[in-house]
Each structure stands twice: as C-alpha cells, then as structure tokens.
C-alpha cells in the first residue's frame, strides 16, 4: 500500500479534485454554493455531474446513490447504475445534472410520522453540496437531504443544516458587537469519539438476541468483568490491531479523519476518534465510520456491536460529541483569549452555552433518547440522565467573582469588570477534566457525552446549535441597543450566570447524592424515553424551533410519533426474541438437562441406595422450580404483548411498553440467568458472557 498521504481522500470528490477537473467558472460557482449556500444553477450542475461521473468511473464506480439519513437513524441508499443504452446496442455511462441535484427515491416505507399520505408517498432527496461526494464500494455516494413533497424534513440532515444556519446568523450578530467585521461566517464543529464492542463471528452467530436486537437479552455475569481495569488503554491484541489498521485505511480513503484508536474500559470494548470537522460533514463521516467498522469486522471474522448496551452489567457504548463554533477566519469562539476584550467575548459565548443547556435540558435529553440508550442512561446501573455542565474550578471562580462584583484573587483589590480587566489566565489542565459530566467544557470545546454509540449525531447537534443560536439572538437583541456596551455586557454576563448556574455541577455525576441535589436545584431527571419525548412538543420548544426555522410544529409532531413508535417497535422485537429464546432453546435445554440429572439420581440409587446424590437432587430441584417460574413469566409476557395490540394512542403505547413489557422482560431474564449459573455449560444453549467478551484473542 502506498503512503497514507497519497491515498488519503482518494475516493472523495473533494476540493482538490474539483479545482483540478472543473472548468474555472464552474469551480467558482460550486465554491459559492459550498461557502455561501448559493443555489446551484442547472448549467453548473450539468457540468459538475458530468465531471463527477467521469471521475467516479475512473475510480471504479458503476453506480450512484443519493445517500441520506432517514429518521430511523441509519443511512439509506438506492443504487442506480450510470448505464444508459446507446443507439448501437451498446451502453454508455451517463449522469445528468438533474440526477445529481435531485432524486426521487420510491421511499414510501421510511417513517414519516404522517407527513406523507400514501397517495403522495414521494420523498425527494437534494444534494448537500457542503459535504463531498465519495465512492463507497463502487458506488458514488452523494450526500443529500430527504424531504417530503411539500418540503418537510423526513431525515436528520435537513434540520442540522438549518440549525447551522441559525447559529451562523446569530453568532455573527454577536461578533459584530465586539467590532469583528472580518468574519463572514460562523460554523459549528464536531469531533466524535465512537465506542464499540468486538466479538468473534462464531459467538455472534450463536446468539439470537444479538442477531435480532443487537444486545444480549439473557446472560449471567462472567467471573471476570471490567473490575481489574486491565483493558482500558491496554495493549491492543494483534487481531484487533489488524482490524483497526484496515478500518483506518478504508476511512482515510473516504476522507474520514480517524485519528486515535484505543481499548476502552470494558473487555472487548474499543474506541475510534476522528478529528473534528464542520458539523454536517462530521455527522456524515460518523455514519460512514459506523458502516466501515461493521464491514471490516466481518472481513476479519469479527462482529462490531454498535448497540448502546450489548451486555448488562458491563459498561455501555457512547459517542462523545465534541462541539465548538468557529469563524471562517479561524477563530474558535470557545477559546479563551489574551486580551480583556477577547476574554469578554469568550465569556459571553460561554454564558450563551450555559443558558442554552439549562433552558433546553429537555431537548438535549431527548436528542439522545432511544430504547437502546435507556439501558445505558438513567437505567438501573447507569449514570442518571440529568443534564448538567462541568466548566472547571477556574472558570467557576471567575464567573462567581463577576456575579458577586468581587475580586477574583483575594490579594487584589480590583473587582472584575468584564471587558475592562484582563481575566486571570486559567489553566487548561487535562487532569481537571470531569469524566462523569454529561456536558463538559474541555478547554476550547464542549464534550456532550450522553449520545449513544448507535445514534446519528445530527439530532444532538441540531439541538445544541439551535438552543445556542436562540440565546445568542437574545443577547444580540439586548446588546445591540445598549447605550453603554461594556456595562450592559457586564450585567448580562452577571445575570445569565446567576440565573443559570444551577446547571453547573463540577462534582461526581455518578454519585447518588447528585440525584437529590439536582432535584433541589430544579433540574430535570427524565429517566427514560417515554418520559422524555413528550417534552418535544412543549410550547417553548416548538417556539424555539419555529423561531429559527429548524422544525415546524408539523415536523415536530411527526418526529414525536416516529420516535415513540420506534421505541415501541424495538421493545416489541426484544420481547418476542426473549420469548423465542425461552420457549425454543432455554426451557427445552433445561428440560433435557434436568432429565439427565434425574437419570443420574436413579442410576446412582441402583448402585447403592444410600449413595450421595446431593448435587443432582438439589440442582434438579432448583432448576425445576426456576423453569416453572420462567415458564409462567413467559406466559405473562405473551399475554401482555397481546394487550399492547389493542392500544392505539402512541403515547399510551409507549408508556405501556415501558411500564409493563419492559418490566416483564426484566422478570423473565432473572430465572434464565439463575439457571445459567447452575446448569452444565454443555447444556446451556448459548455462549456465555465470558466466552463472548473474551472471544477475540
Ligand atoms: P479526549 O481526551 O477526550 O480524547 P481530544 O483532545 O483527543 O480529547 O479530543 C477528542 C475529540 O475532540 C477529537 O475528535 C478532536 O478532534 C475533537 N476536538 C478537538 N478540538 C475541537 C474543537 N475545537 N471543536 C470540536 N472538536 C474538537
Ligand atoms: Mg473524550
């Protein structure tokens, strides 16, 4: 393989390729589209399409697809070949401007939450020219948005792009107040850290629950888990290293900047982090990353588990979302500056994020809600799903001093005045980091740690961008009319901090006492998806999204429906899988094993009447009693699933799945896990947790 620098981005129709291949005028036009969001005219599109097709064909592509992210979270593609019949019976490769900009997939089966009646089932895809086209396995993939006939968002990207525009607009207003006339645009950036598990294909194939649901629904705790912490950052096994190397190579070819790979806390758990990029590009790249992880794993005889909680009792997988905003002139707006003025600007943006996170806690929580992530967040063994922020002790002290009109350092007499005094330099000490905070300031960016490993990051970033845009808008409204800018600025920071500092918590977010403390501060604790989702339709949230043109009320209602329905469907599949495993595998296997034990008792008694049969007898007794309990519980689950069928209201159904079905499932698991602990492994129908977690050697 040639040098990395040579093959990096070799499958991307990126700026370098465009500059080299497009006529000058076309290149300029496309730049205007990318940088300033100017609409692409059909002549330019025709030229771009033709050049793009030639490039793709030269690089082995035979098909193209409009690559989009429906509300289900995964990516969707429908391949069309470039082939077109020629008059002489041969074929030519064709791709028109129209095909590039707009697609019309027959996509009536994607969830729309009622946005499309069946008679108008058409959805349209439209090219997002700000995210480069790329080749994936001989298919030219064109990143697109997916909208309904009447323009409503049916995907994840549309809202993200709209939210990026909102934060761009409001950030620029604030920057102008600080005398910045150079910046022409402000972008939000994302750097994702993706966690996942690797197990062998052989183990995976023997677990129906992993195959159907992505997580284990039964499984006793292994003798060794993560208690020794010997896996975290440990030596990477040769087989895993080979896998990671190939993942990197594939990602680099597609221009994805994967940077670090390491082992995570749990056995078999790993992480790949990519260098940050513009939000929509990073979100696209993360979708590609997840796909590449799974494909490459398969080639190596492995399976990559992206589920948020594949194994109960073992750490789950998340996806840290590192977020910042920066200008086209390269200024990171979350980077503390050197001069009083720069510092004042930084503090204002910092306060905007603080207020945004506090006021829209519910939306941030919703952006990471799913049946799967509920197992990892707010569940029994997981950290509470309470939103809070970590800003570190230095920044807290500075803001406290400003709020109280005190000096920062007791040796100094001066009280801190924003924009007048140089705020003391605070350290960016990495040890100061709080690993348990769901929303942590890490020097020049925020790290949102609640997203699950399997979600599209578009949702979380849409919320962050829109919420911060809203607060910046309020700030700009207030400051634009100020008579004394510095005074107003100082007061605004004071007031914002005072009103929203309840969201700041620099302590241990995993500690039980935090739940009580958070409650007394009036912070939300939305424990699960059905509890969180209804807040999506709170008037304040509808207003937020409508103000910035990110979602209409209709779109939000549709989204609510899709998300709640998805929750119910996931639990339904899990429940059916549990029943299938109980009825067809576990109970029959235990029936067989207990027969063997009974036979052993009889045969031993033939040898001598008083021979010890304690093990056989007691195990037999315990197993039979547990089998009965399991059988009864499976009947109950079956009955409750039938009851669910008669519930038509989606909110009621969601709550029924949470309160009844999920509890039934928990109850059903208990006897199974008990039996696994005492039954002979020869008779247990599935690989154990230990076998799976330590399968890659
Ligand atoms: P960690 O200790 O959490 O691994 P790193 O500094 O390595 O922290 O960064 C983690 C992620 O944060 C990477 O994806 C990195 O690209 C991203 N990141 C760094 N700076 C920024 C920034 N200004 N905006 C957004 N993401 C960033
Ligand atoms: Mg991190």
Cα angle 413, 419, 424; round to 5: 50
Does residue 351 register a pLDDT over 70?
A: yes
How far apart are alpha carbons 362 and 342 in whole angstroms?
A: 32
Taking residues 230-254, what's their average pLDDT?
88
How far apart are alpha carbons 456 and 200 in whole angstroms?
A: 26
CA of 193 to the centre of ligand 2 (A): 7
Does residue 415 register a pLDDT over 80?
A: no
Taking residues 508-533, what's their average pLDDT?
93
Does residue 267 register a pLDDT over 90?
A: no
pLDDT at residue 101, rounded to an integer: 86
CA of 449 to the centre of ligand 2 (A): 8
Ligand 1 atom at minimal distance to the Cα of residue 323:
25
pTM of the model: 0.94
What is the number of the ligand closest to the CA of 318?
2
pLDDT at residue 340, rounded to an integer: 67
CA of 80 to the centre of ligand 1 (A): 37
Cα angle 647, 650, 655; round to 5: 80
Tokens 């914002």 belong to residue: 496
For strands 63-67 and 139-148, give the pairing: parallel
pLDDT at residue 430, rounded to an integer: 43
Cα angle 512, 514, 516; round to 5: 90
593 lines ligand 1 (CB under 6 A): no
pLDDT at residue 421, rounded to an integer: 58
Lowest mean pLDDT of 403-417, 493-507, 571-585, 666-680, name the range. Answer: 403-417
322 lines ligand 1 (CB under 6 A): yes
458 lines ligand 1 (CB under 6 A): no
What is the number of the ligand closest to the CA of 431?
1
324 lines ligand 1 (CB under 6 A): yes
For strands 389-390 and 439-441, give the pairing: parallel
DSSP codes joined into one string, 645-687: TT---HHHHHHHIIIIIHHHHHHHHHHHHHHHHHS-TTT-SS-
Average per-residue pLDDT for the chain:
91
Lowest mean pLDDT of 147-156, 195-204, 312-321, 562-571, name the range. Answer: 147-156
- Percent of all residues in the chain with a pLDDT value above 90, rounded to a whole number: 71
Non-local (6+) Cβ contacts of 590 within 8 A are: 623, 626, 627, 675, 679, 683
How far apart are alpha carbons 127 and 131 in whole angstroms?
A: 9
Nearest to 44 by CA among 98, 93, 89, 82: 98
Per-residue pLDDT of 361-390, as tens digits, reads 999 999 999 999 999 987 666 778 999 999
Does residue 7 register a pLDDT over 80?
A: yes
Tokens 């979600």 belong to residue: 455
Per-residue pLDDT of 188-229, as tens digits, reads 999 999 999 999 999 999 999 999 999 999 999 887 766 666
Does residue 645 register a pLDDT over 60?
A: yes
Q: Give the orientation angle of helix 458-480 with respect to helix 340-359, to 10 degrees.
A: 120
CA of 318 to the centre of ligand 2 (A): 10
282 lines ligand 1 (CB under 6 A): no
Q: Within 13 A of 408's CA, how many CA atoms are on the CB side?
A: 17
pLDDT at residue 74, rounded to an integer: 74
How far apart are alpha carbons 77 and 80 in whole angstroms?
A: 10
E strand or H helix at 298: helix 279-299
How far apart are alpha carbons 357 and 308 in whole angstroms?
A: 23
Per-residue pLDDT of 268-292, as tens digits, reads 999 999 999 999 999 999 999 999 9
Per-residue pLDDT of 297-348, as tens digits, reads 999 999 999 999 999 999 999 999 999 999 999 999 999 877 767 788 999 9
191 lines ligand 1 (CB under 6 A): yes
Q: Are 97 and 42 in contact (CB under 8 A)?
A: yes
Q: Are 128 and 144 in contact (CB under 8 A)?
A: yes
- Percent of all residues in the chain with a pLDDT value above 70, rounded to a whole number: 92
Taking residues 441-450, what's their average pLDDT?
94
Q: Whose CA is nearest to atom 17 of ligand 1?
A: 191
Does residue 431 register a pLDDT over 70?
A: no
332 lines ligand 1 (CB under 6 A): yes
What is the number of the ligand closest to the CA of 449?
2
Non-local (6+) Cβ contacts of 673 within 8 A are: 218, 219, 220, 221
CA 343 to chain centre: 32
Does residue 665 register a pLDDT over 60?
A: yes
321 lines ligand 1 (CB under 6 A): no
DSSP codes joined into one string, 416-465: P-TTTSPPPP----GGG--TT-SEEE-SSSEEE--SBTTS-THHHHHHHH
117 lines ligand 1 (CB under 6 A): no
Ligand 1 atom at minimal distance to the Cα of residue 334:
23
Per-residue pLDDT of 59-105, as tens digits, reads 999 999 999 998 876 788 888 899 888 888 888 888 998 889 888 77
Q: Are 314 and 450 in contact (CB under 8 A)?
A: no
pLDDT at residue 337, rounded to an integer: 77
Better pLDDT: 77 or 662: 662
Taking residues 496-511, what's their average pLDDT?
93
Residue 394: band (very low, low, confident or very high) from pLDDT cuts 50, 70, 90? confident
Q: Is 254 exposed, middle or buried (0-12, 13-18, 19+ CB in 10 A)?
A: buried
CA of 191 to the centre of ligand 1 (A): 6
Q: Are 51 and 29 in contact (CB under 8 A)?
A: no
Residue from 188, 191, 289, 432 to probe ligand 1 pocket by mutation (most atoms less than 8 Å from CB): 191
Residue 642: band (very low, low, confident or very high) from pLDDT cuts 50, 70, 90? very high
Does residue 427 register a pLDDT over 60?
A: no
Does residue 5 register a pLDDT over 80?
A: yes
Taking residues 122-130, what's their average pLDDT?
85
Nearest to 492 by CA among 606, 365, 354: 354
* 216 Ramachandran zone, left/alpha/beta (phi>0; psi -120 to 50): beta
How far apart are alpha carbons 479 and 198 in whole angstroms?
A: 52
DSSP codes joined into one string, 396-422: HHHHHHHHHT--SSTT--PPP-TTTSP
Q: Are 18 and 33 in contact (CB under 8 A)?
A: no
How far apart are alpha carbons 115 and 122 in whole angstroms?
A: 11
Can you tell me whether residue 314 is helix, strand or coil? Answer: coil
Q: Whose CA is nearest to atom 16 of ligand 1?
A: 275
Nearest to 65 by CA among 99, 22, 30: 99
Can you tell me whether residue 604 is helix, strand or coil? Answer: helix
444 lines ligand 1 (CB under 6 A): yes
Does residue 413 register a pLDDT over 70?
A: no
Residue from 271, 273, 436 to probe ligand 1 pocket by mutation (most atoms less than 8 Å from CB): 273
Ligand 1 atom at minimal distance to the Cα of residue 324:
24
What is the number of the ligand closest to the CA of 274?
1
**Strand partners for 135:** 140
Residue-wise over 215-230: b if at least 16 C-beta within 10 A, else e? bbbbbbbbeebbeeee
Taking residues 429-442, what's their average pLDDT?
74
Nearest to 661 by CA among 674, 652, 649: 652
How far apart are alpha carbons 382 and 377 in whole angstroms?
A: 5
pLDDT at residue 684, rounded to an integer: 98
Q: Are 285 and 157 in contact (CB under 8 A)?
A: no
CA of 322 to the centre of ligand 1 (A): 6
How far apart are alpha carbons 555 and 154 in whole angstroms?
A: 8
């Amino acid at each position: 393989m040639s040098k990395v620098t040579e093959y990096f981005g070799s499958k991307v129709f990126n700026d370098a390729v465009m500059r080299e291949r497009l006529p000058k005028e076309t290149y300029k036009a496309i730049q205007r589209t990318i940088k300033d969001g100017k609409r692409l005219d059909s002549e330019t599109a025709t030229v771009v399409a033709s050049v793009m097709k030639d490039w793709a064909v030269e690089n082995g592509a035979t098909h193209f697809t409009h690559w989009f992210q429906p509300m289900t979270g995964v990516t969707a593609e429908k391949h069309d070949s470039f082939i077109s019949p020629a008059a002489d019976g041969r074929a030519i490769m064709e791709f028109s401007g129209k095909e590039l900009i707009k697609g019309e997939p027959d996509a009536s089966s994607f969830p729309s939450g009622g946005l499309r009646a069946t008679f108008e089932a058409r959805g349209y895809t439209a090219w997002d020219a700000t995210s480069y086209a790329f080749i994936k396995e001989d298919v030219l993939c064109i990143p697109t948005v997916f909208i309904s006939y009447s323009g409503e968002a049916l995907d994840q990207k549309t809202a993200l792009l709209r939210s990026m525009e909102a934060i761009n607009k409001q950030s620029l207003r604030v920057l102008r107040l600080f005398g910045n006339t150079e910046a022409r645009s402000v972008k939000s950036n994302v750097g994702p850290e993706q966690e996942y598990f690797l197990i062998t294909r052989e183990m995976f194939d023997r677990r129906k629950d992993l195959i159907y649901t992505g997580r284990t629904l039964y499984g006793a705790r292994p003798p060794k888990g993560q208690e020794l912490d010997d896996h975290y950052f440990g030596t990477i096994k040769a087989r895993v290293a080979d896998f990671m190397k190939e993942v990197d190579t594939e990602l680099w070819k597609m221009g994805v900047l994967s940077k670090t790979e390491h082992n995570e806390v749990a056995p078999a758990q790993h992480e790949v982090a990519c260098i940050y990029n513009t939000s929509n590009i990073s979100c696209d790249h993360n979708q590609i990353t997840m796909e590449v992880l799974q494909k490459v794993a398969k080639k190596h005889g492995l399976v990559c588990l992206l589920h948020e909680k594949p194994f109960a009792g073992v750490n789950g997988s998340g996806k840290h979302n590192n977020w910042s905003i920066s200008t086209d002139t390269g200024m990171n707006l979350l980077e503390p500056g050197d001069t009083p003025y720069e510092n004042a600007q930084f503090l204002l943006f910092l306060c905007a994020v603080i207020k945004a996170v506090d006021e829209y806690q519910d939306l941030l929580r919703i952006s990471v809600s799913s049946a799967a992530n509920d197992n990892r967040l707010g569940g029994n063994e997981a950290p509470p799903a309470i939103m809070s922020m970590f800003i570190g002790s230095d920044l807290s002290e500075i803001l406290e001093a400003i709020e109280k009109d005190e000096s920062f350092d007791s040796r100094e007499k001066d009280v801190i005045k924003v924009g007048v005094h140089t705020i003391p330099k605070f350290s960016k000490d990495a040890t100061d980091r709080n690993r348990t905070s769901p929303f942590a300031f890490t020097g020049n960016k925020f790290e949102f740690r609640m997203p699950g490993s399997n979600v599209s990051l578009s949702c979380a970033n849409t919320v962050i961008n829109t919420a911060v845009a809203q607060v910046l808008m309020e700030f700009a409204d207030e400051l634009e009319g100020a008579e004394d800018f510095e005074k107003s600025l100082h007061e605004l920071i004071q007031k914002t901090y005072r009103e929203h500092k309840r969201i700041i918590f620099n302590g241990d977010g995993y500690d039980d006492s935090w739940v009580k403390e958070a409650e007394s501060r009036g912070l939300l604790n939305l424990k699960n998806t059905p509890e969180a989702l209804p807040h999506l339709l709170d008037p304040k949230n509808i207003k937020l999204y409508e103000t910035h043109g990110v979602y209409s009320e209709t779109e939000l209602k549709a989204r609510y429906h899709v998300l709640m329905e998805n929750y119910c469907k996931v639990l339904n599949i899990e429940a059916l899988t549990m029943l299938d495993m109980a009825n067809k595998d576990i109970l029959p296997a235990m029936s067989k094993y207990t027969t063997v034990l009974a036979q052993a008792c009889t045969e031993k008694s033939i040898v001598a009447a008083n021979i010890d049969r304690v093990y056989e007898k007691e195990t037999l007794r315990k197993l039979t009693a547990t089998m009965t309990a399991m059988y009864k519980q499976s009947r109950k689950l079956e009955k409750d699933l039938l009851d669910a069928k008669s519930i038509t209201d989606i909110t009621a159904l969601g709550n029924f799945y949470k309160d009844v079905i999920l509890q039934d499932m928990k109850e059903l698991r208990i006897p199974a896990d008990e039996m696994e602990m005492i039954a002979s492994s020869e008779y247990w129908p599935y690989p154990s947790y230990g076998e799976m977690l330590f399968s890659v050697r």
